[in-house]
Amino acid sequence: MSECPHVAVMPRPEPAPAADTCPECLADGTHPVQLRLCLSCGHVGCCDSSAGRHATGHFHSTGHPVMRTFEPGEAWRWCFVDGSIV
């Protein structure tokens, strides 16, 4: 059971994905390992196993707290503020 207050204030329905890959990796010429979707704005960024860690970078630049996996067959959310699956 999640204690995360941030999930409750995410837009419903969730924002449409802004891209189908990490645009910052595309610009940098790096390769995303896995993709994450920001549940505040639909930003798509790469995971912390990727060179750019752009999903985490997005949190640091915007403060958007919750993302979910953007990988087919996976279903989980991560809150950067709580530092846990939510």
Site residues for Zn ion per CB under 5 A: 4, 6, 22, 24-25, 32, 38, 40-41, 43, 46, 52, 54, 64, 79, 81-82
Closest to Zn ion by CB, 8 vs 75, is 8
Closest to Zn ion by CB, 64 vs 68, is 64
Q: How many CB atoms lie within 10 A of CB 72?
A: 6
Task: Please give the backbone phi and psi of residue 9, each rounded to the nearest 5 degrees, phi first.
Answer: -105, 10
Residue 9 is given by DSSP the state G
For the CB of residue 73, give the shortest distance to Zn ion in the complex, in Å: 21
User: CB of 53 within 8 A of CB of 28?
Assistant: no
